[in-house]
């Protein structure tokens, strides 16, 4: 299977188009902080696959909610789970 690699600007465009978030600066910072989609390097060039971008974006999305109070409850439950 052939893999298509996207450079950082194209990866940011892909994320913005498909998910509505994920900017070039976010991807730059993520490589430094570790909060980045999985990537490969070709020399100094950072390359992403669409599969890695999809997995990262989906990991950022919360559960579906119908109200702000429901969202607050889900956030509290998630925080409690993370502390355990």
Q: Which residue has the tokens 């900017």?
A: 23
Domain count of the chain? 1
**Mind listing the pLDDT tens digit for each residue in 46-69?**
999 999 999 999 999 988 889 888
- Sheet of 40-42: strands edge to edge? 5-7, 45-49, 40-42
Residue 13 has pLDDT above 80, yes or no: yes
Phi and psi, residue 9, nearest 5°: -65, -40
Residue 84 has pLDDT above 60, yes or no: no
Provide the residue range defining the domain that includes 22: 5-83
pLDDT tier, 70 (very low <50, low <70, confident <90, very high otherwise): confident
Is pTM, for the whole model, over 0.95?
no
Best mean pLDDT range from 10-14, 64-68, 80-84: 10-14
């Amino acid at each position: 299977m052939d893999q298509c690699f996207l450079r950082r600007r194209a990866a940011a465009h892909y994320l913005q188009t498909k998910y509505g978030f994920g900017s070039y600066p976010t991807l730059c910072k993520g490589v430094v902080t570790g909060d980045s989609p999985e990537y490969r390097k070709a020399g100094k060039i950072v390359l992403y696959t669409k599969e890695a971008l999809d997995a990262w974006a989906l990991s950022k999305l919360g559960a579906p909610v119908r109200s702000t109070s429901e969202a607050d409850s889900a956030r509290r439950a998630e925080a409690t789970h993370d502390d355990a």
